[in-house]
Structure 1
Amino acid sequence: MTTVRRILLTGARGQVGWELRRTLSCLGEVVALDSRSMNLADADAVRQTVREMAPNIIVNPAAYTAVDKAESEPELAHAVNAVAPGVLAEEAARLGALLVHYSTDYVFNGSGSTPWKEDGACDPLNVYGATKLAGERAIQATGCRHLIFRTSWVYGARGSNFLLTMRRLMRERPELKIVADQIGAPTWCRDLAEATALVLSQVAAPASRFDEGAPWGVYHMTNAGETSWHGFAKAIQTHDDAGARLLPIPSSDYPTPARRPLNSRLNNDKLKQTFGISLQDWHAALALCLEADSK
Protein backbone atom coordinates (compact mmCIF):
# COMPACT_ATOMS: atom_id res chain seq x y z
CA MET A 1 0.00 0.00 0.00
CA THR A 2 1.42 3.36 -1.07
CA THR A 3 1.50 6.09 1.57
CA VAL A 4 0.23 9.46 0.35
CA ARG A 5 2.74 12.26 0.83
CA ARG A 6 1.39 15.05 3.05
CA ILE A 7 2.32 18.63 2.18
CA LEU A 8 1.69 21.40 4.72
CA LEU A 9 1.23 24.74 2.94
CA THR A 10 1.16 28.07 4.80
CA GLY A 11 -0.20 31.36 3.50
CA ALA A 12 -2.85 29.63 1.41
CA ARG A 13 -4.72 32.87 0.69
CA GLY A 14 -1.62 34.81 -0.39
CA GLN A 15 -0.74 35.26 -4.04
CA VAL A 16 2.00 32.60 -4.06
CA GLY A 17 0.15 30.28 -1.68
CA TRP A 18 -2.98 30.44 -3.83
CA GLU A 19 -1.02 29.17 -6.85
CA LEU A 20 0.87 26.55 -4.82
CA ARG A 21 -2.39 24.96 -3.69
CA ARG A 22 -2.91 24.00 -7.33
CA THR A 23 0.60 23.18 -8.52
CA LEU A 24 1.45 20.99 -5.50
CA SER A 25 -1.75 18.95 -5.63
CA CYS A 26 -0.21 16.42 -8.04
CA LEU A 27 2.60 15.69 -5.55
CA GLY A 28 0.50 14.65 -2.57
CA GLU A 29 -2.22 15.66 -0.14
CA VAL A 30 -1.99 19.42 0.32
CA VAL A 31 -3.11 20.73 3.72
CA ALA A 32 -3.49 24.43 2.95
CA LEU A 33 -3.58 26.78 5.95
CA ASP A 34 -4.14 30.53 6.00
CA SER A 35 -3.36 32.98 8.80
CA ARG A 36 -6.62 32.11 10.56
CA SER A 37 -5.69 28.42 10.65
CA MET A 38 -2.08 28.99 11.69
CA ASN A 39 -0.89 32.34 12.99
CA LEU A 40 2.82 32.56 12.20
CA ALA A 41 3.24 35.25 14.85
CA ASP A 42 2.46 32.59 17.49
CA ALA A 43 5.45 30.26 17.64
CA ASP A 44 3.76 27.79 19.99
CA ALA A 45 0.74 27.52 17.69
CA VAL A 46 3.00 26.93 14.70
CA ARG A 47 4.82 24.14 16.51
CA GLN A 48 1.58 22.50 17.67
CA THR A 49 0.05 22.61 14.18
CA VAL A 50 3.07 20.98 12.54
CA ARG A 51 3.13 18.23 15.17
CA GLU A 52 -0.57 17.55 14.62
CA MET A 53 -0.20 17.46 10.82
CA ALA A 54 3.11 15.53 10.72
CA PRO A 55 3.80 16.51 7.10
CA ASN A 56 6.46 15.06 4.80
CA ILE A 57 7.00 18.46 3.17
CA ILE A 58 6.41 21.95 4.57
CA VAL A 59 6.06 24.79 2.04
CA ASN A 60 6.15 28.27 3.57
CA PRO A 61 5.32 31.20 1.26
CA ALA A 62 3.64 33.09 4.15
CA ALA A 63 5.47 36.20 5.33
CA TYR A 64 5.11 39.69 6.75
CA THR A 65 5.55 41.62 3.49
CA ALA A 66 4.52 45.20 4.37
CA VAL A 67 8.01 46.60 3.76
CA ASP A 68 7.38 50.14 4.97
CA LYS A 69 5.11 49.15 7.85
CA ALA A 70 7.79 46.76 9.11
CA GLU A 71 9.89 49.78 10.07
CA SER A 72 7.33 50.58 12.78
CA GLU A 73 6.41 46.94 13.55
CA PRO A 74 9.82 45.23 13.77
CA GLU A 75 8.75 42.78 16.48
CA LEU A 76 5.81 41.45 14.47
CA ALA A 77 7.89 41.26 11.29
CA HIS A 78 10.60 39.36 13.19
CA ALA A 79 8.09 36.93 14.69
CA VAL A 80 6.61 36.03 11.29
CA ASN A 81 9.70 36.26 9.07
CA ALA A 82 12.43 35.03 11.41
CA VAL A 83 11.06 33.10 14.40
CA ALA A 84 8.32 31.15 12.60
CA PRO A 85 10.60 29.79 9.83
CA GLY A 86 13.01 28.65 12.52
CA VAL A 87 10.22 26.78 14.30
CA LEU A 88 9.10 25.19 11.02
CA ALA A 89 12.70 24.13 10.40
CA GLU A 90 13.09 22.64 13.89
CA GLU A 91 9.93 20.61 13.40
CA ALA A 92 11.00 19.58 9.90
CA ALA A 93 14.29 18.31 11.34
CA ARG A 94 12.42 16.38 14.04
CA LEU A 95 10.10 14.79 11.46
CA GLY A 96 12.74 14.24 8.79
CA ALA A 97 10.60 16.45 6.54
CA LEU A 98 11.68 18.82 3.78
CA LEU A 99 11.12 22.57 4.27
CA VAL A 100 10.61 24.87 1.29
CA HIS A 101 10.80 28.56 2.18
CA TYR A 102 10.70 31.80 0.18
CA SER A 103 13.00 34.75 0.73
CA THR A 104 13.79 38.00 -1.03
CA ASP A 105 16.22 40.14 -3.01
CA TYR A 106 16.00 42.57 -0.07
CA VAL A 107 18.61 40.55 1.85
CA PHE A 108 21.14 42.42 -0.33
CA ASN A 109 22.08 46.11 -0.15
CA GLY A 110 21.62 46.67 -3.89
CA SER A 111 25.10 47.98 -4.64
CA GLY A 112 26.61 47.70 -8.12
CA SER A 113 24.82 46.40 -11.19
CA THR A 114 25.87 42.73 -11.30
CA PRO A 115 23.12 40.16 -10.59
CA TRP A 116 23.49 38.81 -7.05
CA LYS A 117 24.52 35.19 -6.60
CA GLU A 118 23.36 33.02 -3.71
CA ASP A 119 26.68 33.36 -1.87
CA GLY A 120 26.82 37.15 -2.21
CA ALA A 121 27.34 39.18 0.95
CA CYS A 122 23.98 39.89 2.61
CA ASP A 123 23.50 43.40 3.98
CA PRO A 124 19.80 44.35 4.14
CA LEU A 125 18.80 48.01 4.10
CA ASN A 126 15.50 47.68 5.93
CA VAL A 127 13.71 45.76 8.69
CA TYR A 128 11.85 43.54 6.24
CA GLY A 129 15.08 42.41 4.58
CA ALA A 130 16.79 41.92 7.94
CA THR A 131 13.96 39.73 9.24
CA LYS A 132 13.88 37.65 6.06
CA LEU A 133 17.64 37.11 6.32
CA ALA A 134 17.22 36.10 9.96
CA GLY A 135 14.63 33.56 8.82
CA GLU A 136 17.06 32.08 6.31
CA ARG A 137 19.74 31.73 8.97
CA ALA A 138 17.35 30.22 11.50
CA ILE A 139 16.44 27.53 8.96
CA GLN A 140 20.07 26.82 8.09
CA ALA A 141 21.02 26.56 11.77
CA THR A 142 18.67 23.60 12.35
CA GLY A 143 20.37 21.40 9.78
CA CYS A 144 17.01 20.30 8.33
CA ARG A 145 16.61 19.45 4.66
CA HIS A 146 15.64 22.77 3.14
CA LEU A 147 15.23 24.72 -0.08
CA ILE A 148 15.19 28.51 0.23
CA PHE A 149 14.00 30.30 -2.91
CA ARG A 150 14.88 33.98 -3.06
CA THR A 151 12.68 35.89 -5.48
CA SER A 152 11.82 39.50 -6.35
CA TRP A 153 8.97 41.84 -7.23
CA VAL A 154 6.25 39.20 -6.98
CA TYR A 155 2.89 39.98 -8.55
CA GLY A 156 -0.26 38.19 -9.68
CA ALA A 157 -3.93 38.65 -10.51
CA ARG A 158 -4.99 38.61 -6.85
CA GLY A 159 -3.80 40.03 -3.55
CA SER A 160 -1.91 43.28 -3.13
CA ASN A 161 0.92 43.98 -5.57
CA PHE A 162 2.41 46.48 -8.01
CA LEU A 163 0.49 45.17 -11.02
CA LEU A 164 -2.93 45.59 -9.43
CA THR A 165 -2.03 48.95 -7.90
CA MET A 166 -0.82 50.31 -11.25
CA ARG A 167 -3.88 49.05 -13.13
CA ARG A 168 -6.09 50.90 -10.66
CA LEU A 169 -4.08 54.12 -10.49
CA MET A 170 -3.69 54.38 -14.27
CA ARG A 171 -7.47 54.61 -14.50
CA GLU A 172 -7.85 57.03 -11.60
CA ARG A 173 -5.09 59.55 -12.31
CA PRO A 174 -3.88 61.39 -15.41
CA GLU A 175 -0.22 61.26 -14.34
CA LEU A 176 1.91 58.93 -12.21
CA LYS A 177 5.49 59.31 -11.02
CA ILE A 178 7.26 55.92 -10.97
CA VAL A 179 10.70 55.09 -9.58
CA ALA A 180 13.13 54.33 -12.43
CA ASP A 181 16.47 53.67 -10.71
CA GLN A 182 15.60 50.43 -8.88
CA ILE A 183 16.28 47.48 -11.20
CA GLY A 184 14.99 43.93 -10.79
CA ALA A 185 12.85 41.19 -12.27
CA PRO A 186 9.05 41.25 -11.92
CA THR A 187 8.11 37.66 -11.06
CA TRP A 188 4.70 36.11 -11.67
CA CYS A 189 3.52 34.11 -8.67
CA ARG A 190 2.23 31.31 -10.92
CA ASP A 191 5.67 30.82 -12.43
CA LEU A 192 7.12 30.62 -8.91
CA ALA A 193 4.58 27.99 -7.93
CA GLU A 194 5.09 25.92 -11.07
CA ALA A 195 8.88 26.03 -10.73
CA THR A 196 8.57 24.97 -7.09
CA ALA A 197 6.47 21.97 -8.08
CA LEU A 198 9.02 21.02 -10.75
CA VAL A 199 11.85 21.14 -8.20
CA LEU A 200 9.88 19.08 -5.69
CA SER A 201 9.00 16.51 -8.33
CA GLN A 202 12.74 15.94 -8.70
CA VAL A 203 13.90 15.94 -5.08
CA ALA A 204 10.91 14.08 -3.63
CA ALA A 205 10.74 11.28 -6.21
CA PRO A 206 11.17 7.75 -4.78
CA ALA A 207 14.32 7.21 -6.86
CA SER A 208 15.61 10.77 -6.93
CA ARG A 209 18.92 11.40 -8.66
CA PHE A 210 19.75 13.59 -5.65
CA ASP A 211 19.81 10.69 -3.19
CA GLU A 212 23.59 10.67 -3.17
CA GLY A 213 24.19 14.39 -3.49
CA ALA A 214 21.63 16.50 -1.64
CA PRO A 215 20.68 19.78 -3.40
CA TRP A 216 19.64 21.56 -0.21
CA GLY A 217 20.35 25.26 0.24
CA VAL A 218 19.54 28.68 -1.22
CA TYR A 219 18.46 29.26 -4.83
CA HIS A 220 17.47 32.38 -6.71
CA MET A 221 14.17 32.03 -8.59
CA THR A 222 12.87 34.96 -10.64
CA ASN A 223 11.48 35.50 -14.10
CA ALA A 224 14.22 36.20 -16.65
CA GLY A 225 15.23 39.68 -17.73
CA GLU A 226 15.28 42.97 -15.86
CA THR A 227 13.56 46.33 -15.75
CA SER A 228 12.79 49.25 -13.45
CA TRP A 229 9.51 49.88 -11.68
CA HIS A 230 8.87 52.53 -14.34
CA GLY A 231 9.62 50.00 -17.08
CA PHE A 232 7.29 47.50 -15.43
CA ALA A 233 4.55 50.13 -15.28
CA LYS A 234 5.04 50.98 -18.97
CA ALA A 235 4.71 47.30 -19.88
CA ILE A 236 1.50 47.03 -17.84
CA GLN A 237 0.15 50.10 -19.59
CA THR A 238 0.91 48.62 -23.01
CA HIS A 239 -1.24 45.59 -22.24
CA ASP A 240 -3.90 47.50 -20.34
CA ASP A 241 -4.35 50.42 -22.72
CA ALA A 242 -4.63 52.91 -19.85
CA GLY A 243 -4.04 56.56 -20.65
CA ALA A 244 -2.09 57.89 -17.64
CA ARG A 245 1.21 59.66 -18.27
CA LEU A 246 4.06 57.78 -16.57
CA LEU A 247 6.97 59.93 -15.42
CA PRO A 248 10.29 58.30 -14.42
CA ILE A 249 11.75 59.59 -11.15
CA PRO A 250 14.74 58.66 -8.93
CA SER A 251 14.18 56.95 -5.59
CA SER A 252 15.25 60.16 -3.85
CA ASP A 253 12.11 61.84 -5.19
CA TYR A 254 9.88 59.20 -3.61
CA PRO A 255 11.00 58.86 0.01
CA THR A 256 9.61 55.89 1.96
CA PRO A 257 10.06 54.72 5.56
CA ALA A 258 12.10 51.73 4.32
CA ARG A 259 15.10 52.08 2.04
CA ARG A 260 15.01 49.91 -1.09
CA PRO A 261 18.01 48.39 -2.91
CA LEU A 262 18.77 49.91 -6.32
CA ASN A 263 20.13 46.64 -7.72
CA SER A 264 17.68 43.80 -7.13
CA ARG A 265 18.95 41.66 -10.00
CA LEU A 266 19.28 37.99 -8.98
CA ASN A 267 21.45 35.44 -10.80
CA ASN A 268 19.40 32.29 -11.48
CA ASP A 269 22.21 30.12 -12.88
CA LYS A 270 22.32 27.78 -9.88
CA LEU A 271 18.64 26.87 -10.31
CA LYS A 272 19.25 26.08 -13.98
CA GLN A 273 22.42 24.10 -13.35
CA THR A 274 20.98 22.04 -10.48
CA PHE A 275 17.42 21.40 -11.62
CA GLY A 276 17.39 22.34 -15.30
CA ILE A 277 14.74 24.98 -14.60
CA SER A 278 14.58 28.52 -15.99
CA LEU A 279 11.60 30.81 -15.55
CA GLN A 280 10.33 32.58 -18.67
CA ASP A 281 11.10 36.21 -19.50
CA TRP A 282 9.13 38.67 -17.40
CA HIS A 283 7.48 40.25 -20.47
CA ALA A 284 6.01 36.89 -21.50
CA ALA A 285 4.92 36.14 -17.94
CA LEU A 286 3.13 39.49 -17.64
CA ALA A 287 1.28 38.88 -20.91
CA LEU A 288 0.13 35.45 -19.73
CA CYS A 289 -0.92 36.80 -16.34
CA LEU A 290 -3.08 39.51 -17.88
CA GLU A 291 -4.48 37.09 -20.46
CA ALA A 292 -5.47 34.64 -17.75
CA ASP A 293 -7.05 37.43 -15.69
CA SER A 294 -9.15 38.60 -18.64
CA LYS A 295 -10.87 35.23 -19.10
Structure 2
Amino acid sequence: MSGPLLVFGAAGQLGREVMALAAARDANAVGLARSAVDITDADAVARAIADAKPRLIVNCAAYTAVDRAETEPELAAAINATGAGVLAQAADRAGIPILHISTDYVFDGSKTGAYREDDPIAPLGIYGRTKAEGEALVRAVPRHVILRTAWVYGEYGNNFLKTMLRLARERDQLRVVADQRGCPTATIDIAEAIFAVDALLQAPESGGQGFGTYHFAGTGATTWHGFAQAIVEAQAGHTGKSPPVAPITTADFPTPAKRPANSELDSSLFAKTFAYRAAYWPLRMRQVIETLFEEPSDQRTAKPS
Protein backbone atom coordinates (compact mmCIF):
# COMPACT_ATOMS: atom_id res chain seq x y z
CA MET A 1 0.00 0.00 0.00
CA SER A 2 1.74 3.18 -1.14
CA GLY A 3 1.78 6.50 0.65
CA PRO A 4 0.07 7.64 3.84
CA LEU A 5 -3.39 8.92 4.58
CA LEU A 6 -3.08 12.71 4.52
CA VAL A 7 -5.49 14.16 7.08
CA PHE A 8 -6.35 17.86 6.93
CA GLY A 9 -7.99 19.28 10.04
CA ALA A 10 -6.00 16.87 12.21
CA ALA A 11 -6.30 19.00 15.35
CA GLY A 12 -10.12 18.86 15.42
CA GLN A 13 -12.18 16.28 17.29
CA LEU A 14 -12.52 13.95 14.30
CA GLY A 15 -9.02 14.54 12.96
CA ARG A 16 -7.52 13.65 16.34
CA GLU A 17 -9.59 10.47 16.45
CA VAL A 18 -8.40 9.46 12.97
CA MET A 19 -4.79 10.06 13.93
CA ALA A 20 -5.20 8.15 17.21
CA LEU A 21 -6.72 5.17 15.38
CA ALA A 22 -3.92 5.26 12.82
CA ALA A 23 -1.35 5.22 15.63
CA ALA A 24 -3.13 2.34 17.37
CA ARG A 25 -3.05 0.34 14.14
CA ASP A 26 0.49 1.41 13.24
CA ALA A 27 -1.04 2.73 10.03
CA ASN A 28 0.75 5.24 7.84
CA ALA A 29 -0.92 8.63 8.31
CA VAL A 30 0.19 12.27 8.22
CA GLY A 31 -1.93 14.80 10.08
CA LEU A 32 -1.95 18.52 9.28
CA ALA A 33 -3.56 21.06 11.59
CA ARG A 34 -4.96 24.39 10.38
CA SER A 35 -1.87 26.11 11.81
CA ALA A 36 0.32 24.02 9.48
CA VAL A 37 -1.66 24.36 6.25
CA ASP A 38 -4.41 26.81 5.34
CA ILE A 39 -6.72 24.75 3.13
CA THR A 40 -7.82 27.87 1.24
CA ASP A 41 -4.20 28.39 0.10
CA ALA A 42 -3.86 26.36 -3.11
CA ASP A 43 -0.06 26.60 -3.19
CA ALA A 44 0.31 25.46 0.43
CA VAL A 45 -2.09 22.56 -0.16
CA ALA A 46 -0.23 21.50 -3.31
CA ARG A 47 3.10 21.56 -1.45
CA ALA A 48 1.67 19.46 1.39
CA ILE A 49 0.36 16.87 -1.05
CA ALA A 50 3.64 16.78 -2.97
CA ASP A 51 5.60 16.32 0.26
CA ALA A 52 3.36 13.55 1.67
CA LYS A 53 2.67 11.67 -1.58
CA PRO A 54 -0.51 10.23 -0.01
CA ARG A 55 -2.71 7.38 -1.20
CA LEU A 56 -5.85 9.17 0.09
CA ILE A 57 -6.61 12.74 1.19
CA VAL A 58 -9.05 13.03 4.10
CA ASN A 59 -10.71 16.39 4.75
CA CYS A 60 -11.72 16.64 8.41
CA ALA A 61 -11.31 20.42 8.39
CA ALA A 62 -14.57 22.30 8.91
CA TYR A 63 -16.14 25.39 10.41
CA THR A 64 -18.68 23.78 12.75
CA ALA A 65 -19.84 26.68 14.98
CA VAL A 66 -23.42 26.47 13.71
CA ASP A 67 -24.78 29.56 15.48
CA ARG A 68 -21.69 31.73 15.04
CA ALA A 69 -21.76 30.98 11.31
CA GLU A 70 -24.84 33.20 11.06
CA THR A 71 -22.64 36.21 11.85
CA GLU A 72 -19.45 34.86 10.22
CA PRO A 73 -20.71 33.68 6.82
CA GLU A 74 -17.49 34.58 4.98
CA LEU A 75 -15.29 32.58 7.35
CA ALA A 76 -17.67 29.61 7.28
CA ALA A 77 -17.72 29.70 3.48
CA ALA A 78 -13.94 29.98 3.26
CA ILE A 79 -13.38 26.80 5.27
CA ASN A 80 -16.44 24.72 4.38
CA ALA A 81 -16.74 25.61 0.70
CA THR A 82 -13.63 27.29 -0.70
CA GLY A 83 -11.21 25.12 1.27
CA ALA A 84 -13.03 21.93 0.33
CA GLY A 85 -12.85 22.93 -3.32
CA VAL A 86 -9.15 23.75 -3.11
CA LEU A 87 -8.43 20.34 -1.58
CA ALA A 88 -10.55 18.54 -4.17
CA GLN A 89 -8.90 20.28 -7.12
CA ALA A 90 -5.42 19.68 -5.70
CA ALA A 91 -6.24 16.01 -5.12
CA ASP A 92 -7.55 15.68 -8.67
CA ARG A 93 -4.45 17.29 -10.18
CA ALA A 94 -2.26 14.91 -8.16
CA GLY A 95 -4.34 11.87 -9.19
CA ILE A 96 -5.30 11.09 -5.58
CA PRO A 97 -8.82 10.36 -4.29
CA ILE A 98 -10.36 12.60 -1.62
CA LEU A 99 -12.67 11.71 1.26
CA HIS A 100 -14.67 14.68 2.51
CA ILE A 101 -16.76 14.87 5.68
CA SER A 102 -20.15 16.58 5.40
CA THR A 103 -23.28 16.91 7.53
CA ASP A 104 -26.97 16.30 8.09
CA TYR A 105 -27.41 20.10 8.06
CA VAL A 106 -27.62 20.03 4.26
CA PHE A 107 -31.23 18.86 4.85
CA ASP A 108 -34.09 20.93 6.27
CA GLY A 109 -35.36 18.17 8.57
CA SER A 110 -38.90 18.12 7.20
CA LYS A 111 -38.82 14.51 5.99
CA THR A 112 -40.59 11.76 7.89
CA GLY A 113 -38.12 8.90 8.27
CA ALA A 114 -34.40 8.66 7.68
CA TYR A 115 -32.73 10.69 4.94
CA ARG A 116 -31.21 8.83 2.00
CA GLU A 117 -28.38 10.05 -0.19
CA ASP A 118 -30.73 10.91 -3.06
CA ASP A 119 -33.08 13.08 -1.00
CA PRO A 120 -33.07 16.74 -2.07
CA ILE A 121 -30.97 19.06 0.06
CA ALA A 122 -32.40 22.28 1.52
CA PRO A 123 -30.09 23.76 4.18
CA LEU A 124 -31.71 26.03 6.76
CA GLY A 125 -28.72 28.21 7.70
CA ILE A 126 -25.24 29.41 6.82
CA TYR A 127 -23.45 26.34 8.17
CA GLY A 128 -25.58 23.90 6.18
CA ARG A 129 -25.44 26.08 3.08
CA THR A 130 -21.64 26.32 3.14
CA LYS A 131 -21.31 22.57 3.69
CA ALA A 132 -23.63 21.96 0.72
CA GLU A 133 -21.47 24.29 -1.39
CA GLY A 134 -18.40 22.35 -0.28
CA GLU A 135 -20.03 19.07 -1.29
CA ALA A 136 -20.73 20.44 -4.77
CA LEU A 137 -17.10 21.51 -5.21
CA VAL A 138 -15.81 18.12 -4.07
CA ARG A 139 -18.33 16.36 -6.31
CA ALA A 140 -16.87 18.23 -9.28
CA VAL A 141 -13.85 15.90 -9.24
CA PRO A 142 -14.46 12.25 -10.18
CA ARG A 143 -12.51 10.37 -7.49
CA HIS A 144 -14.30 11.49 -4.33
CA VAL A 145 -16.14 10.03 -1.36
CA ILE A 146 -18.43 12.33 0.64
CA LEU A 147 -19.52 11.11 4.07
CA ARG A 148 -22.48 12.92 5.59
CA THR A 149 -22.66 12.36 9.32
CA ALA A 150 -24.57 13.82 12.28
CA TRP A 151 -24.63 14.54 16.00
CA VAL A 152 -20.89 13.93 16.31
CA TYR A 153 -19.31 13.33 19.71
CA GLY A 154 -16.19 11.68 21.04
CA GLU A 155 -13.20 11.82 23.35
CA TYR A 156 -11.60 14.90 21.82
CA GLY A 157 -12.65 18.52 21.48
CA ASN A 158 -15.96 20.04 22.49
CA ASN A 159 -19.22 18.22 21.84
CA PHE A 160 -22.69 17.54 23.26
CA LEU A 161 -21.68 14.48 25.26
CA LYS A 162 -18.86 16.28 27.07
CA THR A 163 -21.09 19.28 27.72
CA MET A 164 -23.75 17.06 29.29
CA LEU A 165 -21.12 15.34 31.46
CA ARG A 166 -20.01 18.73 32.76
CA LEU A 167 -23.55 20.02 33.34
CA ALA A 168 -24.53 16.80 35.13
CA ARG A 169 -21.79 17.55 37.66
CA GLU A 170 -22.63 21.24 38.01
CA ARG A 171 -26.43 21.46 37.94
CA ASP A 172 -29.39 20.04 39.82
CA GLN A 173 -31.53 19.85 36.68
CA LEU A 174 -30.89 19.84 32.93
CA ARG A 175 -33.29 21.13 30.27
CA VAL A 176 -32.79 19.63 26.81
CA VAL A 177 -34.66 19.87 23.52
CA ALA A 178 -36.92 16.87 22.89
CA ASP A 179 -38.38 17.67 19.45
CA GLN A 180 -35.25 17.24 17.34
CA ARG A 181 -34.36 13.70 16.28
CA GLY A 182 -31.12 12.21 15.00
CA CYS A 183 -28.42 9.55 15.25
CA PRO A 184 -25.61 10.21 17.76
CA THR A 185 -22.35 9.33 16.01
CA ALA A 186 -19.05 8.66 17.77
CA THR A 187 -15.86 9.91 16.18
CA ILE A 188 -14.31 6.46 16.62
CA ASP A 189 -16.98 5.02 14.32
CA ILE A 190 -16.37 7.74 11.73
CA ALA A 191 -12.62 7.06 11.93
CA GLU A 192 -13.29 3.35 11.41
CA ALA A 193 -15.50 4.25 8.44
CA ILE A 194 -12.68 6.30 6.91
CA PHE A 195 -10.34 3.31 7.16
CA ALA A 196 -13.04 1.09 5.65
CA VAL A 197 -13.28 3.47 2.67
CA ASP A 198 -9.51 3.51 2.34
CA ALA A 199 -9.38 -0.30 2.38
CA LEU A 200 -11.87 -0.63 -0.48
CA LEU A 201 -10.31 2.12 -2.58
CA GLN A 202 -6.89 0.47 -2.22
CA ALA A 203 -8.12 -3.05 -3.00
CA PRO A 204 -6.93 -4.20 -6.43
CA GLU A 205 -10.33 -5.72 -7.16
CA SER A 206 -12.26 -2.54 -6.34
CA GLY A 207 -12.11 -1.35 -9.95
CA GLY A 208 -12.87 2.21 -8.95
CA GLN A 209 -15.99 1.24 -7.02
CA GLY A 210 -16.87 3.18 -3.89
CA PHE A 211 -16.79 6.75 -5.13
CA GLY A 212 -19.86 8.87 -4.43
CA THR A 213 -21.92 10.32 -1.57
CA TYR A 214 -22.82 8.26 1.50
CA HIS A 215 -24.59 8.69 4.81
CA PHE A 216 -22.80 7.38 7.88
CA ALA A 217 -24.21 7.82 11.38
CA GLY A 218 -24.63 5.92 14.63
CA THR A 219 -27.02 2.97 14.60
CA GLY A 220 -30.36 3.87 16.15
CA ALA A 221 -32.04 7.24 16.60
CA THR A 222 -33.12 9.36 19.54
CA THR A 223 -33.81 12.97 20.52
CA TRP A 224 -31.34 15.35 22.12
CA HIS A 225 -33.32 14.81 25.33
CA GLY A 226 -33.03 11.04 25.01
CA PHE A 227 -29.31 11.33 24.31
CA ALA A 228 -28.81 13.59 27.34
CA GLN A 229 -30.84 11.29 29.59
CA ALA A 230 -28.70 8.32 28.55
CA ILE A 231 -25.50 10.29 29.20
CA VAL A 232 -26.62 11.31 32.68
CA GLU A 233 -27.58 7.75 33.57
CA ALA A 234 -24.29 6.34 32.24
CA GLN A 235 -22.10 8.75 34.19
CA ALA A 236 -23.96 8.48 37.52
CA GLY A 237 -21.88 5.52 38.68
CA HIS A 238 -18.73 7.64 38.38
CA THR A 239 -19.98 10.89 39.90
CA GLY A 240 -22.84 9.81 42.18
CA LYS A 241 -24.97 12.54 40.59
CA SER A 242 -27.99 11.94 38.39
CA PRO A 243 -29.90 15.21 37.92
CA PRO A 244 -33.29 15.00 36.19
CA VAL A 245 -33.37 15.92 32.51
CA ALA A 246 -36.46 17.95 31.64
CA PRO A 247 -37.73 17.84 28.03
CA ILE A 248 -38.23 21.21 26.35
CA THR A 249 -39.19 22.30 22.83
CA THR A 250 -37.05 24.01 20.23
CA ALA A 251 -39.17 27.11 20.79
CA ASP A 252 -38.17 27.05 24.48
CA PHE A 253 -34.49 27.24 23.50
CA PRO A 254 -34.14 29.70 20.60
CA THR A 255 -30.80 29.78 18.77
CA PRO A 256 -29.43 32.06 16.03
CA ALA A 257 -29.37 29.16 13.55
CA LYS A 258 -32.41 26.99 12.87
CA ARG A 259 -31.79 23.25 13.37
CA PRO A 260 -33.32 20.39 11.34
CA ALA A 261 -36.12 18.75 13.32
CA ASN A 262 -35.17 15.41 11.78
CA SER A 263 -31.49 14.57 11.25
CA GLU A 264 -31.85 10.80 11.02
CA LEU A 265 -29.62 9.36 8.30
CA ASP A 266 -30.04 6.03 6.51
CA SER A 267 -26.55 4.47 6.52
CA SER A 268 -27.45 1.26 4.69
CA LEU A 269 -25.73 2.19 1.42
CA PHE A 270 -22.43 2.74 3.22
CA ALA A 271 -22.77 -0.58 5.07
CA LYS A 272 -23.51 -2.41 1.81
CA THR A 273 -20.61 -0.79 -0.04
CA PHE A 274 -17.89 -0.75 2.61
CA ALA A 275 -19.00 -3.60 4.93
CA TYR A 276 -18.95 -1.44 8.05
CA ARG A 277 -21.75 -0.09 10.22
CA ALA A 278 -21.48 2.18 13.25
CA ALA A 279 -22.14 0.70 16.68
CA TYR A 280 -25.54 0.96 18.38
CA TRP A 281 -25.33 4.46 19.78
CA PRO A 282 -26.14 3.71 23.48
CA LEU A 283 -23.42 1.07 23.55
CA ARG A 284 -20.82 3.31 21.92
CA MET A 285 -21.82 6.25 24.11
CA ARG A 286 -21.16 4.21 27.26
CA GLN A 287 -17.79 3.08 25.91
CA VAL A 288 -16.75 6.66 25.21
CA ILE A 289 -17.86 7.77 28.69
CA GLU A 290 -15.91 4.95 30.32
CA THR A 291 -12.81 5.96 28.37
CA LEU A 292 -13.22 9.61 29.37
CA PHE A 293 -13.45 8.73 33.06
CA GLU A 294 -10.43 6.43 32.77
CA GLU A 295 -8.24 9.03 31.07
CA PRO A 296 -9.50 12.49 30.11
CA SER A 297 -8.79 13.18 26.46
CA ASP A 298 -6.92 16.43 27.17
CA GLN A 299 -4.28 14.35 28.96
CA ARG A 300 -3.60 12.40 25.77
CA THR A 301 -1.54 13.65 22.89
CA ALA A 302 -2.42 13.98 19.25
CA LYS A 303 0.44 14.69 16.90
CA PRO A 304 -0.71 16.68 13.88
CA SER A 305 1.93 18.82 12.26
- TM-score over 0.5 (shorter chain): yes
Partner of 1:228: 223
Please give the residue correspondences for 1:173-184 in structure 2 after superposition, counting only pairs within 5 Å. 173-184=171-182
| Paired residue total | 289
Secondary structure of the corresponding residue to residue 77 of structure 1: helix
Q: Provide the identity percentage.
A: 43
- Judging changes above 3 Å, is the alpha-carbon distance between structure 1 residues 28 and 176 closer, same or farther for their aligned structure 2 residues? closer
Partner of 1:214: 209
Please give the residue correspondences for 1:1-295 in structure 2 after superposition, counting only pairs within 5 Å. 4-24=2-22, 26=25, 29-143=28-142, 145-205=143-203, 207=204, 209-211=205-207, 214-241=209-236, 242-295=241-294
Q: Kindly provide the amino acid, as one letter, of the partner of residue 252 in structure 1.
A: A
Secondary structure of the corresponding residue to residue 99 of structure 2: strand
- Judging changes above 3 Å, is the alpha-carbon distance between structure 1 residues 28 and 237 closer, same or farther for their aligned structure 2 residues? closer
Q: CA deviation at 1:254?
A: 0.6
CA deviation string 1:138-158 (max 9, x = no partner): 011133x11111000000122
In the alignment, is the contact (CA less than 8 A) between 1:27 and 1:201 conserved in 2?
Answer: no
In the alignment, is the contact (CA less than 8 A) between 1:4 and 1:28 conserved in 2?
Answer: no
Q: Give TM-score, length-normalised by structure 1.
A: 0.93
Q: Distance in 1 between matches of 2:133 and 2:68?
A: 18
Q: Distance in 1 between matches of 2:275 and 2:196?
A: 10
Q: CA deviation at 1:245?
A: 2.2
Secondary structure of the corresponding residue to residue 220 of structure 2: coil
Secondary structure of the corresponding residue to residue 140 of structure 2: helix
Structure 2 gap segments, 5+ residues each: 295-305
In the alignment, is the contact (CA less than 8 A) between 2:17 and 2:156 conserved in 1?
Answer: no
Q: Which moved more, 1:116-125 or 1:37-46?
A: 37-46
In the alignment, is the contact (CA less than 8 A) between 2:200 and 2:210 conserved in 1?
Answer: no
Q: Give TM-score, length-normalised by structure 2.
A: 0.90
- Judging changes above 3 Å, is the alpha-carbon distance between structure 1 residues 49 and 262 closer, same or farther for their aligned structure 2 residues? same
CA deviation string 1:40-87 (max 9, x = no partner): 354553344334434221111110000000000000000000011111
